[in-house]
Structure 1
Amino acid sequence: MTELIFTEKPAQAEKIAFALADDIPTKKELGRAPYYEITHNGKDIIVGCAVGHLFGLKEIKTEKKGWTYPVFDIEWVESHKIRKTQAHSRPYIEALKKLVKKADEFTVACDFDTEGSVIGFNCVKFIAKKDDAHRMKFSTLTKDELVESYKNRSKSLDFGVIEAGQTRHHLDYFWGISLSRALTLAVKATGSFKLMTSGRVQGPTLKIIVDKEKEIAKFIPVPYWELSLDGKIKTHVITARHKEGKIFDKERANEIFKNTQGQKAVIDKIKESERSSDAPHPFNLTNLQTEAYSLFGYSPKRTLSLAQDIYTAGYISYPRTSSQKLPASIDYTKILTKLSKQKDYKELCNRLLALDNLKPNEGKKSDTAHPAIYVTGEKGRISADQKKVYDLIVRRFLATFAEKAIRKTVTAEIKVNNEIFLAKGTTTVKKGWHEFYGPHVRLTETILPPLKVEDELTSPKIAKEDKETSPPKRYTPASILKEMDKLNIGTKATRASILDALYLRNYIVDNSITATKLGMETISALSQYCPEITDTDLTRHFEEEMEQIMEGKKKKESVLEEAKKQLTSTLNHFRKHEKAIGEILIKATRETEYKINTIADCPKCKKGVIQIRTGRFGKFVACDKYPDCENTYSLPANSLIRANGGICKECGFHSVLAIRGGKRPFNYCLSKECPPKVAWRKAREAKIKENATKKTTKKTTKKRTTKKTTKKRTTKKTTKKTKSQK
């Protein structure tokens, strides 16, 4: 009897094979797809792998020609038959088709979440041609947990999770394809063409951002005044603020200012207070993405990618979790003991291990599939960026077990002609969890000098500042994810990619997220003619429906039927106003593209502007007055280019922002004479010259060696011949 284990990715297949094998696994390949043959307790097992989703949804072809909407007639097909970009999945499908013939028992060991469950079920159904299989469930890729997971694998698949995942795929297809077609055909109705996109979560997310933009636009600043006092106690500078803070009454501000000029400043009271702060909750994915953005500037998508790689290496638990809870079953002591072998955490771990009771400060949020993100204690090599995220997760994990931190605030009330000014100093009196979270604690220590009542400040100066209230802050990539999480739209795993789609389609720009003209007008048109498309309540409703499917309280079919009725009604109304919507969209598209692609005035002709253009060989920068002005600049290949690069710090010329998948964005100077570019060219030329010299020297040496060898052979032959003649 042979068992085939389906895994989600090659790296996971390797981990599972080495964890379960009685001896060293035998690695083999079918095409480019790896698999492993092992024995576990004497049983023959094959560990095969997918490469993410091997199957996707596609519209069933009908006799109707051209695009129509809505689209509901869909089926699962092999991914490479849907998109050329999925061509890499084909060898894995073909390999699994051959491997299932060798097996008579099947187990799914894909990630235990909706996506992993759908991937595994599709392998069982469409490749193995079975209705059910065993299911392994695990949160880390450590040997111990994988062995335990295999030992306790369930006899049946997790059909509630599978149905919820399938429903999500269907709903996303219904909305995504139908809305994208509707918007594109609306533009086409005006005689133009522009591929437009929207989706079940994309539309509501854009509306949240647009609503914030409108709030900022409507904002009217209100003037207010702040009064401050500067003076000295001996050699120490003291700064204090009037106790009323922001003063919106100009006459009151002027009165305070007038009454305090040239008056004594004397300390009237000194108060001390202490405030404790609990240890932080363990990370879930949204918390991790928010913190990594704040500390390192990593985009949510990048943080997820780094965390996924660290998980696959076996050093942290599954990152796609909503939970803020750490069950005792993960064995805190064992993890801390392993972690203490890493010198960076040795002292901190030993301090926790000395405690009588290890109890983490858990949050309220839970996840039925996985606990909060935690470290496994395993050690290995990781990249510099992965190390930052790993260190953040380790220290957060340690901090959750630590004591409260206590901060003391000293407030000195300074009386100036009966007006009270407050000088405050805040210091940490008990570090508690701060010590464990280390460099990631962002607090400042403000220390007041020794003070006593009736001390008088020397040279007191009163200042009055005119200020205005600030508009609401724009969302950042991290804060919009928190808002989506709060509103329960999208999933922890998909929110970052939804945000990326909005950037890619020019609906939004910048890290301080700004809705473009296209983004504003798209939401304006949809809100006017079919507001359901951008309704967060409707999106949240279907999220809750999918949770009920997972819990077995609802069936997939009833939820999909409800969705079809809702979407049909919405799009019928859309169709009646198709041309009007198209006219709004195409105008906004042109304005947005002109704006986001324009870099600056052309430095050559002084008449046009230099813009990002697309040619036969990729993107480049050129003057819009071509052919009168032929000024052009090259751009880095394989990059998403944005015009908002600013001015080059090295040479003062214009630069663009280049974004490459999985890497940090960088500023690229357009000037060929920029010092770093010149230095790079010289180094490259020198390297080419050096390689050419080495090549020539090698050839010459080889030639000389060949001549010597030939000469030796000739001499040897001649000597041999002479001896023979003798």
Structure 2
Amino acid sequence: MRVLCVAEKPSISKSISQILSGGQFTTSATRSQFIKNYEFDYPQTNSFYTVTCVSGHLTGSDFPESHRKWNSCDAFELFDAPVETHVASDKKAIEDNLLTQARRADMLMIWTDCDREGEHIGLEIVRVCKRAKRNIVVKRARFSAIIAQQIHHAAQHPVELDRAQADAVEARITLDLKVGAAFTRMQTQILQNHFVQLSEARNVVSYGPCQFPTLGFVVQKWNLVKSFVSEPFWHIHMSLRRNTSSSDGEETVFNWRRGHIFDEDAAVSIYDFVLSDPLARVTKVTKKETKKWKPLPLTTFELQKAGSRLLRLAPKKVLDISEKLYQQGFLSYPRTETDQFDPQFDFHSLIRKQVVDPTWGAFANSLEEGGFAVPRKGKNNDKAHPPIHPTAHAGNLVGDERKVYEFITRRFLACCSKDALGFQTTVDVECGGEFFYATGLLVLERNYLEVYPYDKWVGHEIPEFEEGEEFQPSVCELREGKTSKPSLLTEADLVTLMDKNGIGTDATIAQHIQTIIDRDYVIEKMEGSTKYLIPSKLGIGLIEGYNQIGLNKSVSKPQLRRETERSMVQVCEGTKTKAAMLEETIVQYKEMFIIAKREFEKVISPCSAKFFTPSWTFQFGQIHGFETSVKSTCRLVECNRFFFEASIYPTYSTSE
């Protein structure tokens, strides 16, 4: 039997061939300089294999010529316009290779990435190959890592292609095309008519069903920071200096149970009452064992957040690197929502591969000598892939690749270790009718912390106290503080918000963040070692404008996209059809489009701060009692939220 195997990327097809053939294969070139065909016998299934690949999606979707040009139709018509799918012009050579190889094959085996997107690419491959041979048998190879055991198992136990997942992707592609194109054309054409700079530069003000809610999070946090007004508060600071076993006269701070209060008069009154009876009495001493839980197994969301927060790498870069390491056979598939390992997972064979590492090898060896503990179980399981973990030791990586691989490996080893153990002492005291407490920690066993430096757990010793004991505090003061300004949004914060609100998937979140940066809706700003996201004037104008329209389900809020993502999950599960999902979602966007277009002046107003003609003068008319008669070359200018039309006369600079 002749089997045609088609992978998603050139590196995967070569790796599959090397594993299945034991390195004994012949190679032939194709018309595409990046694609090669590998051929060999596979006696385990009594088959002759031809392994090739595509390069991501084969096809693209667009409107027919009657709707494709910007002025060919009203933007609203795009919601009901037909969508054409065709093989992209730069993929014709790949298409020809598939057609040629399919004619010779008895079976087509899909080896694309085992996720929703990979399922759809697999369907694209099937459609091309069935044009060459209608009755070709179609199978799907399922695997999570480029390691021999999984690749051989996938080849010998193929399954069916998951059409429901492919349908969900097709629904998302169609929806994003129609909604994105309709809103983008509408808002771009209106804004170009109002702002000369946009029209002359032919700048597109793009809209995306995911990118606008993502931008909305950034603008919302920016407004919160900008509008912040610090408030004073008062708290009672009480401490005692007493010797401990490790130091002489170390200060033990007792935290006020009230925390702090914002009423100064009330704070002074309470403090005066405390001073009237300043002797502190120990009411309770609690001693107990405590733990610092080891981390959960690693998901794509957590990898992106950690990459931004701990490794100082953009989420997209972290995913790109982990994808490359996966293709090289060093990592499992890096796009997964699962944070629990299967009970039958072979931890020890993977741990043993890390024993040779000069940095964490000794810790890996300690796991093999009794330090192992079954990883914790999270609440998520996508039923497709295990948590992200190393599949081989990679000793020669450098730079960012080394940082990403090291984090994933340390995370896996930490998951396989034991929780850190400590002994905690809490001392409760009462002074003048107010209650305070101090907490001490003795770290007994660091365990997973030995290999996982990204978590901190520092011991802090306090003196010995006995219940009923009384003492005179060394310090008892009423102190004033101020509320701290909230921080701007980081990429890790944004990933968390998108995950929580159902914007995008583990595979697309990083790209949505990169898109709003590429569109100049968001600017990256470094402060120290932290990168913050700041909305541009255009980004602020668009979001504030849409918010002023007051849509029931705003295009700048996550609600509608979250509902769309849930509908796509229902398509994957087979409880909703692709057609039903598209119909009900497009109806909602149509309603919003009609209202947004009718009230788009509310978007123009805040956007006007962004766009100015290079040189202007103005026909002011009467403003606050002043009369002028100078005319201008601009279409629209703003002054103190008033807007003025244009004509032609002498010019002034844009700062005037």
Length-normalised TM-score, structure 1: 0.73
- Quick check: 1:304 aligned with 2:319? yes
- What is the aligned partner in structure 2 of residue 645 from structure 1? none
Alpha-carbon distance change, 298 to 205 in structure 1, aligned in 2, over 3 angstroms: same
The count of aligned residue pairs is: 583
Greater RCO, CA 8 A, separation 6+:
2
Deviation at 1:414, TM superposition (A): 6.7
Q: Is the 8 A contact 1:300 1:477 kept in 2?
A: yes
Q: Is the 8 A contact 2:282 2:465 kept in 1?
A: no
- What is the aligned partner in structure 2 of residue 19 from structure 1? 19
Mapped partners of 2:40, 2:533: distance in 1 = 51
Mapped partners of 1:224, 1:63: distance in 2 = 61
2:306 alignment partner AA: E
* Equivalences for residues 93-108 of structure 1 within 5 A: 93-108=95-110
Structure 2 residue corresponding to 1:151, chosen from 152, 156, 160 = 156
Structure 2 residue corresponding to 1:515, chosen from 535, 540, 559 = 535
2:400 alignment partner AA: D
1:508 alignment partner AA: V
- What is the aligned partner in structure 2 of residue 388 from structure 1? 403
Mapped partners of 1:482, 1:431: distance in 2 = 28
Mapped partners of 1:414, 1:447: distance in 2 = 17
1:584 alignment partner AA: S
- What is the aligned partner in structure 2 of residue 138 from structure 1? 143
- What is the aligned partner in structure 2 of residue 275 from structure 1? 290
1:134 alignment partner AA: K
- Quick check: 1:199 aligned with 2:195? no
Alpha-carbon distance change, 568 to 404 in structure 1, aligned in 2, over 3 angstroms: same
Q: Is the 8 A contact 1:265 1:414 kept in 2?
A: no
* Equivalences for residues 393-472 of structure 1 within 5 A: 393-412=408-427, 422-435=437-450, 437-448=451-462, 460-472=474-486
The SS at the match of 1:18 is: helix
- What is the aligned partner in structure 2 of residue 2 from structure 1? 2
Deviation at 1:116, TM superposition (A): 1.1
Q: Is the 8 A contact 1:336 1:377 kept in 2?
A: no
The SS at the match of 1:438 is: coil
Stretch of structure 1 that moved more, 287-296 or 258-267? 258-267
1:111 alignment partner AA: D
Deviation at 1:302, TM superposition (A): 1.6
The SS at the match of 2:29 is: strand
The SS at the match of 1:330 is: coil
* Equivalences for residues 227-306 of structure 1 within 5 A: 227-229=236-238, 232-233=241-242, 235-243=248-256, 244-255=258-269, 268=282, 270-306=285-321
Mapped partners of 1:414, 1:558: distance in 2 = 64
Q: Is the 8 A contact 1:28 1:34 kept in 2?
A: no
Q: Is the 8 A contact 2:70 2:185 kept in 1?
A: no
Mapped partners of 1:57, 1:186: distance in 2 = 26
Stretch of structure 1 that moved more, 500-509 or 356-365? 356-365
Q: Which stretches in structure 1 are left out of the alignment for 5+ residues? A: 82-86, 594-726
Deviation at 1:111, TM superposition (A): 0.1
Mapped partners of 1:540, 1:253: distance in 2 = 45
CA offsets 1:324-373 (integer angstroms, 9 cap, x no match):
11113432232223333444444433443455985321100110321211
1:514 alignment partner AA: I
- What is the aligned partner in structure 2 of residue 555 from structure 1? 577
C-alpha RMSD of matched pairs (Å): 3.3
2:253 alignment partner AA: A
* Equivalences for residues 21-170 of structure 1 within 5 A: 21-31=21-31, 32-35=33-36, 36-41=38-43, 43-62=47-66, 66-67=70-71, 68=73, 69-70=75-76, 71=78, 72-79=81-88, 81=89, 87=90, 89=91, 91-126=93-128, 129=131, 133-154=138-159, 156-170=160-174
- What is the aligned partner in structure 2 of residue 653 from structure 1? none
Mapped partners of 1:108, 1:521: distance in 2 = 46
Alpha-carbon distance change, 128 to 375 in structure 1, aligned in 2, over 3 angstroms: same
Mapped partners of 1:506, 1:74: distance in 2 = 29
Mapped partners of 1:23, 1:334: distance in 2 = 23
CA offsets 1:14-51 (integer angstroms, 9 cap, x no match):
11011111552223322413322222116322211112
- What is the aligned partner in structure 2 of residue 589 from structure 1? 610
- What is the aligned partner in structure 2 of residue 485 from structure 1? 499
The SS at the match of 1:424 is: strand
Q: Is the 8 A contact 2:441 2:459 kept in 1?
A: yes
Alpha-carbon distance change, 275 to 573 in structure 1, aligned in 2, over 3 angstroms: same
CA offsets 1:505-560 (integer angstroms, 9 cap, x no match):
23223333333332232123223445542342221222121111111222212222
- What is the aligned partner in structure 1 of residue 640 from structure 2? none
Mapped partners of 2:68, 2:330: distance in 1 = 52
Alpha-carbon distance change, 376 to 392 in structure 1, aligned in 2, over 3 angstroms: same
2:403 alignment partner AA: K
CA offsets 1:576-635 (integer angstroms, 9 cap, x no match):
345x25633651433899xxxxxxxxxxxxxxxxxxxxxxxxxxxxxxxxxxxxxxxxxx
Deviation at 1:166, TM superposition (A): 1.2
Structure 1 residue corresponding to 2:383, chosen from 362, 368, 381 = 368
The SS at the match of 2:233 is: strand
Mapped partners of 1:190, 1:369: distance in 2 = 50
1:118 alignment partner AA: H
Mapped partners of 1:464, 1:409: distance in 2 = 28
Mapped partners of 1:466, 1:347: distance in 2 = 50
1:120 alignment partner AA: G
Q: Is the 8 A contact 2:545 2:603 kept in 1?
A: no
Mapped partners of 2:563, 2:471: distance in 1 = 64
CA offsets 1:246-272 (integer angstroms, 9 cap, x no match):
133323433566677899877846543
Mapped partners of 1:128, 1:305: distance in 2 = 32
- Quick check: 1:567 aligned with 2:594? no
Deviation at 1:97, TM superposition (A): 4.2
Length-normalised TM-score, structure 2: 0.80
Stretch of structure 1 that moved more, 498-507 or 340-349? 340-349
Mapped partners of 1:570, 1:217: distance in 2 = 29
1:19 alignment partner AA: I
Q: Is the 8 A contact 2:64 2:84 kept in 1?
A: yes
Alpha-carbon distance change, 144 to 63 in structure 1, aligned in 2, over 3 angstroms: closer
Mapped partners of 2:267, 2:585: distance in 1 = 59
The SS at the match of 2:109 is: strand
Alpha-carbon distance change, 425 to 345 in structure 1, aligned in 2, over 3 angstroms: same
Mapped partners of 1:472, 1:591: distance in 2 = 32
The SS at the match of 2:444 is: strand
Alpha-carbon distance change, 64 to 105 in structure 1, aligned in 2, over 3 angstroms: closer
Q: Is the 8 A contact 2:252 2:462 kept in 1?
A: no
Alpha-carbon distance change, 582 to 486 in structure 1, aligned in 2, over 3 angstroms: closer
Q: Which stretches in structure 2 are left out of the alignment for 5+ residues? A: 525-530, 615-656
Based on CA coordinates, which of the two structures has the bigger radius of gyration?
Answer: 1
The SS at the match of 2:48 is: strand
Q: Is the 8 A contact 1:517 1:591 kept in 2?
A: no
Mapped partners of 2:19, 2:277: distance in 1 = 78
Mapped partners of 2:396, 2:466: distance in 1 = 56
Mapped partners of 1:544, 1:242: distance in 2 = 45
Mapped partners of 1:328, 1:412: distance in 2 = 42
Q: Is the 8 A contact 2:35 2:54 kept in 1?
A: no
Alpha-carbon distance change, 160 to 241 in structure 1, aligned in 2, over 3 angstroms: same
CA offsets 1:676-719 (integer angstroms, 9 cap, x no match):
xxxxxxxxxxxxxxxxxxxxxxxxxxxxxxxxxxxxxxxxxxxx
1:589 alignment partner AA: K
Alpha-carbon distance change, 282 to 189 in structure 1, aligned in 2, over 3 angstroms: same
Alpha-carbon distance change, 64 to 413 in structure 1, aligned in 2, over 3 angstroms: closer
Mapped partners of 1:232, 1:57: distance in 2 = 72
The SS at the match of 2:611 is: helix
Structure 1 residue corresponding to 2:567, chosen from 517, 536, 545 = 545
